[in-house]
Amino acid sequence: MYRTDELDIFVRQEMESGQVPGLALAVVKDGAVVHLAGYGVRDREQGLPVTAHTRFPIASITKSLTAATLAILVRQRRLDWDTPVRESLSDFHLADPTATTSVTLSDLLSHRTGLPRHDLVWRGAALSREEVYLRLQYLALSASVGERFQYNNLMYLVAGYLAGRVANSTWETVTRELLLDPLGMERAGVSIAGLRAEDDAALPYEEDVDGSMRRGAFLDTDAVGPAGGIAASVEEMAHFLSMYLDGGRYRGRRVLTETDLQSLWTPQIVVDAAIPWPELGPTHYGLGSYLSTYRGRTYVRHDGGLRGGFTTILGLLPEAGIGAVVLCNRSWTSVPRIVQLRIFDLLLGLPAIPWSDRAREEKKARMTAKKEARLPDVAPRRPISDYVGIFTHPAYGEVTIQAVGPDSVAPLHAIYHGVVTALSPVGEDRFEASPAPHVDSPLEQMLLRFHPDPNGSIARLSLPLEPAVPEISFVRAGSDQ
């Protein structure tokens, strides 16, 4: 028997131990919303409470909604899952010619195009969606099409851009007309930037270096909106969840068909063949959803997180007719996942699993692995002025290197996406990025390498901006290289 009081106690305990300021959840069972609740505060400074109507960025749960919108366009025969994207987007280019001509809509939505994340192209950059789209051709691939799963926000940008182009509109308008409005999600927004002005919006929080919580910043995701740009309340997300669980219908109205859902929930590629816990099965990715099993039952989900302050999860066990969405305003926390699995256990009438203990062990292991000795400071072997200049890459943009002073511990500053980061010398033509406290630097803890030309002058700067490919090379303005 599902008892909301038992869940309420559990949620508050998890929030306290996980330092989560605010959380909202919705639970759906057999077509009915059986629980809507808000806990804690959406604004710590003013003590404003979270309610079921408080809007949160849903982060990458957005991918499930984008995929659902595209399923409708496929049903309307304006698109096809397996037709190359180039047939609809003649200006679509990847660095590999074969990938350019063969990538399909299914490839975009299942993260199997061969392109790794390359998120620092857009994160923090003042670029439009079209500007990011046109830079894709300069990004290195790390696999062939269909070879392996590589989570990718940029390919969802392309999918949303494609949706807008075939409808002679935009992803925002198409998503609202085909999905949000039919689901009664009128308050849901398609821009995180617009959320900041809302009266009942959750504010972001993140863990400080001393372990306490501090106010974070909203990450502007408008350029990659189809990947993570929707903001909604749990009350509205329950509409989407109810539609999922009712075979594509919402309040008797057909939004998706059974065929649409089958397309979205058919495994496309293996995410991880390893099974970390016996209760969970191997994970695949469909079109906009992770597909696995939980305690022997089909488990469809998508989670999300935004730097600065939000973690989210939406999941359902369709065979059991149950689902839950959990949103919170703290970054990098396992609490939403733990709460969702606890909800499932309660609804299924199964013994609880100590997911909290397991999550703490996972976090401890990550923190241990993350601890790395800082490289020792080494005096640079050439004048600081030799490194000063503007270094450019056709997709990643500009990195400006400025001199601070030869007597400084960090004699150089790097400016990337408008963020200033101190650079400390750690070897010949090598510098370590050391951001100031509370600065979200895209170069955090990176090793920057300067490369001379045959004459000994600094001509290039390389940065490990994408771990799956060789270091990204920026050419110094005025250099022949």
What pLDDT is attached to residue 194?
A: 81
* Architecture of the domain spanning 4-77+108-369: 3-Layer(aba) Sandwich (3.40)
* Architecture of the domain spanning 384-476: Beta Barrel (2.40)
Residue 132 has phi, psi (to 5 degrees) of: -65, -45
Token digits of residue 395: 């997709």
Distance in angstroms (rounded) separating the CA atoms of residues 331 and 306: 7
- The boundaries of every CATH 3.40.710.10 domain in the chain are 4-77+108-369
- The boundaries of every CATH 2.40.128.50 domain in the chain are 384-476
- Going from the C-alpha of 137 to that of each of 212, 225, 304, 469, the distances in angstroms are 42, 20, 27, 15
Query: Would you list the DSSP string of 201-255?
Result: BPPPEEE-TTS-EEE------GGGHHHH--EE-HHHHHHHHHHHHTTTEETTEES
What pLDDT is attached to residue 12?
A: 98
| 0.75 surpassed by pTM | yes
Token digits of residue 55: 């809007």
Distance in angstroms (rounded) separating the CA atoms of residues 302 and 310: 14
What pLDDT is attached to residue 370?
A: 57
What pLDDT is attached to residue 283?
A: 95
Residue ranges in 297-433 assigned as alpha helix (H): 335-348, 355-370
- Going from the C-alpha of 42 to that of each of 14, 181, 308, 374, the distances in angstroms are 17, 26, 14, 37
Which of 203, 224, 178, 194 minimizes the C-alpha distance to 75?
Answer: 178
Distance in angstroms (rounded) separating the CA atoms of residues 404 and 385: 10
Which of 149, 185, 191, 143 minimizes the C-alpha distance to 53?
Answer: 185
Pairing of strands 397-403, 389-393: antiparallel
Mean pLDDT by 10 residues, the chain (481 residues): 85 97 97 96 97 98 98 98 98 98 98 98 96 98 98 98 97 98 96 84 93 92 97 98 97 97 98 84 97 97 96 98 98 96 96 90 72 64 92 98 80 95 93 87 93 95 98 90 61
Which of 393, 470, 256, 346 minimizes the C-alpha distance to 11?
Answer: 346
Q: Which residues of 227-237 are buried (b: 16+ CB within 10 A; e: fewer)?
A: bbbbbbbbbbb
